[in-house]
Amino acid sequence: MEQVIHVENLRKSYGNNEALKDITFQVPKGQIFGLLGPSGSGKTTMIKTLTGELTKSSGQVGTQY
């Protein structure tokens, strides 16, 4: 099945603080996807990394619209 979002081993660090650590997931075309978590868990950092607003520290991010 075609993937519209593919994230593999994504990391985002701010100095010694790791906001995202080894995140891996895929979203197939046509699937509804939600990003849930408590305050400070990295939701906004994840979205900004997916959209290219932030540069990832390491890992792979692929999106198709």
**pLDDT tens per residue across span 28-57:** 999 999 999 999 999 999 999 999 999 999
Q: Which of 5, 3, 32, 37 is nearest to 20 (CA)?
A: 37
Residue spans per domain, the chain? 3-27+43-63
11, pLDDT greater than 90 = yes
Helices of type H across 1-65: 43-50
The Cα-based distances of 65 to 10, 51, 55 in angstroms read 20, 11, 19
Question: Is 65's pLDDT higher than 70?
Answer: no
